[in-house]
Structure 1
Amino acid sequence: MVPRNDAKKAIVDATIELIQESGGNTEELTIRTIAERSNVGIGLINYHFQTKENLIEASVQQIIGGVISRFKPDMDGKLNSVEQLKTVVKSVADFLAGNPSVSRISILGDLKTPKTFDNTMQTAKGFGLSLKDMNIPDKDKTLLMFMLTSVLQAVFLRRELSEELFGYHFDDKVQRDRFIDVIMNHMKWKGTDTDE
């Protein structure tokens, strides 16, 4: 058995492994399987997380947080700030489309319990790094990037209806990229060579 003070980490680590092995299909996971994998008793899982949903949400937030912290878009310096941002947004949209189960849990978790440094805000601030050369106050830049993140999340959450609602099918890479181009082209970018 895992020592009690290491149990919470062992539980989350085991849950992350199981989520990844299941391809993000969290419905297949059971508390018993998690307990066996983490080498702790079911009672400790209930003590630390109360419900399977709380445990899965905590584990998914950690997965997404790790992805965000490691995300380094390939920028060769040839693109202006807005074009760099488009590239980054498309990469994030590709991750959402490729990992729908964990992405949905992360987004809904952030909506249910918003925090200053949750994955939504980390994504927004990460988008803002592409605009470091723009002459926009940081608070305004963060707000613009939060708006962009929110639109991306909303379309992702409604991806089954996106073609009917918006004319773009989110799960189709070409259409998804076109959708992002439309959104980005209609934003006003003061302080860049693309401003009007």
Structure 2
Amino acid sequence: MISFFSFTRGFRVLVAAVSTCLLISCIYSEIPGLRPLGPEGSDESYVHEFSNFVFPKKVGHFLRLDMHNNDRHGRDVSVEYNSDTGIMLTVQVYPAWRSTLEVRKDPLEEHFQGVMGTVLRNSPDAQLISEGPARVTQNGKSYSGKMAVMTMQDFRAKSKPSRKRPKGISDLRLFRLGEYFIKYRMAYSEAIRGKAEKEIKGFMISLKWPSEEG
């Protein structure tokens, strides 16, 4: 026979679990610009209402960790993913304003240089390994972009003295889809670079872009 105290303890655990799930649901559902595709609180795929970009819970080897809006309207959003091999990956979708697209000769190149400048200012230990064109195929169409790969101290080893921290890789890729920029930022240990490059390639193929035709 189940005692009253055992029942009460079990009920409290159940209430705590349900409350946690409801809290997570509220946090996700209240992010401006992002809404769940499935039932409220299902925590599966979310869609960016302005660009129609869909962010599944799982993409290849990566699981979605967190989502952020970077402006109060939700036009600029970032979604974080992580793989069990230790790769941290962020996808940011944000407007390339029409005035910029019309006036600038190459808005993507200009914006890329601005992003690179910010990265290098914020990470004085960063060393550029390579910089050049990037390419991705989505919906049967090939898109050109820009990429840069840098080494820097592995941010996950901050507890160690700076001179003993292992090297990390920071990988930046920037594309444009219509009136939106799509920026990928990847960070991982230099020790897993070969495996990381394969997993990142799989992610970029598996995370589908919205069709330009809507």
TM-score bin, normalised by smaller chain: under 0.3
Higher helix share: 1
Higher strand share: 2
Q: Using CA pairs below 8 Å that are at least 6 residues apart, which structure has the higher relative contact order?
A: 1
TM-score for the superposition, normalised by structure 1: 0.27
